[in-house]
Amino acid sequence: MTDRWVSAFQDPAGPGDSRPTAKQIVEAETIKGTWSQKVVLVTGCSAGIGVEAAHALAETGATLYLTARNLTKAEKALGDLVKSDRVHLLELDLNSLASVRRAAEVFNSKEKKLNVLIANAGVMAPPEGRTDDGFETQFGTNHLAHFLLINLLMPTLKAAASSTFNSRIVILSSVAHRWASVNFDNINFDGNYDPNAAYGQSKTANLWTANALERRFGSEGVHAWSVHPGAVATDLTKYMDEETKKANGANEYIQKILKDPAQGAAAETWAAVSKALEGKGGLYIEDCQISKEWKEGQHAPGYAAHAYDEASEEKLWNLSLKLVGLSSL
């Protein structure tokens, strides 16, 4: 049932409350030790919810490829998990499209099939900057690098799809997609940088990419989901100004909906493993359930009206192909 977790989120009481963790999702799906023939790749496994998702997915018995820019940091964060012969660390710097290509080449040299790809890594509201390829940091890191990775690994995702388990692409979006659509006239925010608007743009791009992937590849057994993990206590907020941090700390509602990293990893894990989602895709997930359109209230759940704008999704897809060097307009 796609609504099996709804009641768990009705009355949040802060980190560590009764809302499920990623490991509890795996346990509830009764798949512990049953995925020995499956391969899963997760980006951003040196901190935060990526680490928690990795630990949960390891309990399925799947072969895991866990990416990080700093493998030493990832080894420390993942602990004993890296000792498993089913766990492989893969160097990937999303700030560089060349690094993305190298990582994809390494993966493709080792595996012919990929059952689940979780585009988990990301950066939020940093000072203005550019990736190695000249793109605004958040658009380049959160969107373009993952867009390229997904396309380079698509043959392995198609190859893994079966009648009993279609391949899945899980892309971390955010409630922040409601802050901004995609600024096609100034993707890099040149001369007008707003860190929050740029973050919102990148999260809308993540959501639109999942939708576009579903249209293109759903019929071939590859389904894509966009996921909002919720408000999670991780270092993703390290660039947030002190005034905002203080205000959030004093906001009773925010403190109630706040999740610890194990809970924050639950939604992406649910999107990756839930039997109820088999054969489906192209929808927005939050709180381990398929979300509905946002109506009102700053913190109310739901997606923005622009979340399902097919014309804009196609425009972004074609632009992204050009920007990462896969095609020209």
Place of tokens 């996921």: 227
Instruction: Give the Å distances, CA to CA, from 181 to 122, 306, 307.
Output: 18, 7, 8
Place of tokens 């408000």: 231
Active site residue 113: no
Residues 6 or more apart in contact with residue 97 via CB below 8 angstroms: 131, 132, 133, 144, 145, 148, 324, 325
Query: C-alpha angle with apex 157: 222 to 95, nearest 5 degrees?
Result: 105
Active site residue 18: no
75, 46 Cβ separation under 8 angstroms: no
> Would the CA dihedral through 195, 196, 198, 199 be positive or negative?
positive
Q: Which of 46, 96, 99, 199 is catalytic?
A: 199
135, 144 Cβ separation under 8 angstroms: yes
What does the block give as tokens for 232?
């999670």
Q: Which of 23, 38, 203, 259 is catalytic?
A: 203
C-alpha span between 266 and 179 (Å, rounded): 24
C-alpha span between 54 and 43 (Å, rounded): 10
What does the block give as tokens for 241?
């100004």
Active site residue 327: no
What stretches of 59-187 show up as alpha helix (H) in DSSP? 71-78, 97-110, 137-138, 145-160
Q: Which of 99, 167, 173, 312 is catalytic?
A: 173
Which positions are annotated as active-site residues? 173, 199, 203
